[in-house]
Amino acid sequence: MARKIFYSFHFDNDVMRVQQVRNMGVVEGNTPVSPNNWEEVKKKGNAAVEKWIDDNMFGKSCVIVLIGTDTHKRPWVNYEIKKAWKDGKGLLGIHIHNLTCPNNGKSSKGTNPFDAINFTLDGKAVVPKVYDPKSSDAYNDIATNLSGWVEAAIKQRNG
C-alpha cells in the first residue's frame, strides 16, 4: 500500500522538478495546486494559508521536502516542516537540483532547510534524513529509493 505523502517545496523555482517526483507514482502524494488557486489562497492571508496547509497535510503519514536552490528561504516550507514534526509525521528531504527542468535544466544545490530547525524526539536531538540523488541519474535514484526513504522517515519519527 502506498503511503500518503504531503510534498513541501518552493513552487516558483521548482514546480517542474516536483512534478517529476509526483508523477513517479511510487507513493501517493497530495493533489497539486495550480498557481492560480495558490494565489487565491495567499490573497486571503496567513490564516487561510495555514488552514490550506493543515487541511492538505491531514491524514498524511510523511512530509517530503523537495529541496531546490531557495527552498530553505520559504516561510511556508518552514511552517510545513515544523507542523509535520509537531504532528508526529515522518519527515525527510530530497535535493532535486539534479532533476532536469524542461525550461531551466539543472539548478544549484540548495541549503538543507532542516539545518535551521531543532528537532527532538524523547528529549534527544534528531536530524531528519536528507537525500542527494546521484547527479548522473537523479530521476531513477529517487524512483528506486523513494518508498524506502519514506518508510525510514516514518520509522525514525515513531522511534
Q: Would you identify the CATH topology of the domain 4-158?
A: Rossmann fold (3.40.50)
**pLDDT of 148 strictly over 90:** yes
The overall pTM is greater than 0.85: yes
pLDDT at 2: 72
In whole angstroms, give the CA distance from residue 159 to residue 15: 32
Q: What is the pLDDT of residues 93-135, one digit of tens each?
A: 999 999 988 888 889 999 999 999 999 999 999 999 999 998 7
Digit-coded pLDDT (tens) for 38-55? 778 889 999 999 999 999
pLDDT in tens, 71-93: 999 999 999 999 999 999 999 99
Residue among 109, 65, 63, 113 at smallest CA distance from 90: 63
